[in-house]
Amino acid sequence: MFEEGKKYKLSIIRQESSGAGIAKANKFPVFIPYSLPTELVEVKITKVKKSYAEGEVVKNITTSKDRIEVECPYYYKCGGCDLMHQKYNATLDFKMKNLKELLYKFSKIDSNYIKLNKIVEAEDKYFYRNKVTFHVDNDKLGFYLENTNDLIEIDECIIINPIFNVALKIIKKYIKDSGINKVIMRYGIHTKELMIVFDTYKVIDNKLIDELNKKIKVLKSVYMFNKNKFTLLSGESHIKEKLLDKTFMISPKSFFQVNTLMAEMMFSKVLKYITNTDINILDLYCGIGVISIIINKPNKKIIGVDIVKDAIKDANENKVLNNSENIEFVAANVKKVLQVIKKAKKSLDVIILDPPRSGVDKDSIKVINELLPKKIIYISCNPTTLCRDLKILKEKYDVKEITPFDLFSQTHHIEAVTLLTLKK
């Protein structure tokens, strides 16, 4: 029906999970990034598969009332953001609608019969990211276009913290023949501490480090990463960040939520779900121990589990820093730890889940359904795997409340916190 390279006039009927518009011809779907529902667009077909096609907008014949001028000059090429062309409130409506559809599709949950809260709006719609990775190719610094080896040179990115753009300008002057492959930067929003890591195959020019230190007062730590080893070049080994009045050390390897202010809102929600009578708590996929430390009280017995040894090393330092010595952090696979707990017949009040995008593995979900903690708090950055996992958990649990958070504005991604309670 469609031919690659040919142009067609198509009407966009809705947005799919990735934010792209969908048009249909004789029920055959065409995915068209950067198009919006209600628009009539001229589309060039770029790919035809058995059950769908992909296309790109050649021109808009009509324009949605939700379309806005994009302020980023790289937007339509870069691929890092995908909803900048849509009014902010309309992106939130889309994210809610998508979550409702996924809940029904993957877990057969009708959102009318559960407490699904309105998505929590982002504090900062732009300049919110506290971490960025710039790549280098042909002496140019920028981002790789999604799924390609083509680099787009960037002078300024409007979703990252402005301090990264200041550093970028300086680093660019030294990039020619520098041997730098990647530049990773992280910033503590509350502490005003910047870390820069150069992934490089040559020694870093001292003049670059001197200029960065001279011009960027908040620069606290500079590392070089070479042959799988981090070497501290200047400043301190860690930067710190505060979340809900607790202090966390961030090392070059640690996972840390990329939107500090929104992460605080999300963790406040988790905190509200923990009551005085919740004593035995398992914090699975704990990273550097943020959630364990935030919810900790002297009467609690918390075990945090993460597969990355360095994350657990940081978690242990963080617990000392926050006088939370009663928490036990374990470097292990969640799957193994759950088996041990099952064998020991340990009773649990709460299991907290904060898995990567792939969600919780099937075996672990099964064991959780056998352990039967009173509550499960599931923090997810991928609604599709969340809904897949809820389908199994709801055999034993009621889905009490879901709250989505707009942690990644200008993109289709969201985070969601779900409270599940054991069925009576």
Ligand X SMILES: C[S@@+](CC[C@H](N)C(=O)[O-])C[C@H]1O[C@@H](n2cnc3c(N)ncnc32)[C@H](O)[C@@H]1O
Rounded Cα–Cα distance for residues 378 and 259 (Å): 18
| Member of 66, 306, 389, 415 binding ligand X (CB under 6 A) | 306
Residue 363, φ and ψ in degrees, nearest 5: -60, -45
Nearer to ligand X (CB atom), residue 55 or residue 289: 289
Residue 19: enclosing H or E segment and its boundaries? none
291 binds ligand X (CB under 6 A): yes
Rounded Cα–Cα distance for residues 340 and 356 (Å): 22
233 binds ligand X (CB under 6 A): no
Nearest approach in angstroms of CB 243 to ligand X is: 9
Which tokens is 97 given?
């609608």
354 binds ligand X (CB under 6 A): yes
| Member of 36, 282, 311, 338 binding ligand X (CB under 6 A) | 311
Which tokens is 235 given?
């400043």
Instruction: Give 347's DSSP letter.
Output: -
257 binds ligand X (CB under 6 A): yes
305 binds ligand X (CB under 6 A): yes
290 binds ligand X (CB under 6 A): yes
Q: How far is CA 282 from CA 115, 132, 181, 245, 349, in A?
A: 25, 31, 39, 22, 8
| Member of 356, 363, 395, 423 binding ligand X (CB under 6 A) | 356
For the segment 258-287, give every residue that binds ligand X (CB under 6 A): 285-287
Indicate which residues carry an active-site annotation. 381
Count the residues of the shown chain that bind ligand X, applying the rule CB under 6 A. Answer: 18
Nearer to ligand X (CB atom), residue 336 or residue 423: 336
Instruction: Select the span of 133-141, 159-167, 354-362, 405-413 touching ligand X (CB under 6 A).
Output: 354-362
Residues 72-110: b if buried by 16+ CB within 10 A, e if exposed: bebbeebbbbbbbbbebebbbebbbebbbbbbeebbebe
The 3-state DSSP class for residue 93 equals: helix
Rounded Cα–Cα distance for residues 233 and 183 (Å): 14
Nearer to ligand X (CB atom), residue 151 or residue 308: 308
Nearest approach in angstroms of CB 291 to ligand X is: 5
Instruction: Select the span of 65-73, 87-95, 187-195, 350-358 touching ligand X (CB under 6 A).
Output: 350-358
For the segment 320-349, give every residue that binds ligand X (CB under 6 A): 333-334
Asked whether 414 and 99 are in contact (CB, 8 A), the reply is yes
What residues line the site for ligand X (CB under 6 A)? 255, 257, 285-288, 290-291, 305-308, 311, 333-334, 354-356
